[in-house]
Amino acid sequence: MLSFARDRILLSVCVLLTATFVGFLLLQASGDLAASLAGENASADDIAQLRQQLGLDQPLLLRYWHWLIGALQGDLGTSYFTREPVTGLFAERLGATLTLAIAALVISVVVSLPLGVFAALKPNSWVDGLLSLLALSGQAVPSFWLGLIFISFFGVTLRWLPISGSDTAMHFVLPSVVLAVSAIPALARLVRSGMIEVLSQDYIRTARSKGLPRHRVLMRHALRNALLPVISLTAVQLGALLGGSVIVEAVFAIDGIGQLTFRSIQRGDFPVVQAMLVFVALSYTVLTLVADLMNAWIDPRLRSRK
CA distances in angstroms from 243 to 90, 147, 157, listed in the order given: 12, 19, 32
Instruction: For residue 85, list its beta bridge partners.
Output: 78
Separation of CA 184 from chain center = 14
Among 6, 66, 224, 263, binds other proteins (CB under 8 A): 224
Which x/- pattern, by CB under 8 A, does the window 70-109 give for other proteins? ----------------------------------------
Query: DSSP 3-state assignment of 124?
Result: coil
**Phi, psi for residue 85 in degrees, rounded to 5:** -65, 140
Distance, CA of 291 to CA of 285 (rounded, Å): 10
Q: Segment contacting other proteins (CB under 8 A): 123-131, 160-168, 197-205, 230-238?
A: 197-205
Establish if 231 lies at the interface with other proteins (CB under 8 A). Answer: no
Establish if 216 lies at the interface with other proteins (CB under 8 A). Answer: yes
For the chain, the residue count is: 306
Name the minimum Å distance from CB 202 to other proteins: 4
Q: How many residues contact other proteins, by CB under 8 A?
A: 22
Among 134, 207, 231, 290, binds other proteins (CB under 8 A): 207
Among 221, 252, 277, 278, binds other proteins (CB under 8 A): 221
How many CA atoms does the CB half-sphere of 141 hold within 13 Å?
Answer: 22
Establish if 299 lies at the interface with other proteins (CB under 8 A). Answer: yes
Distance, CA of 99 to CA of 249 (rounded, Å): 12
Among 99, 225, 237, 261, binds other proteins (CB under 8 A): 225
Binding site for other proteins (CB under 8 A): 201-203, 205-213, 216, 220-221, 224-225, 298-301, 304
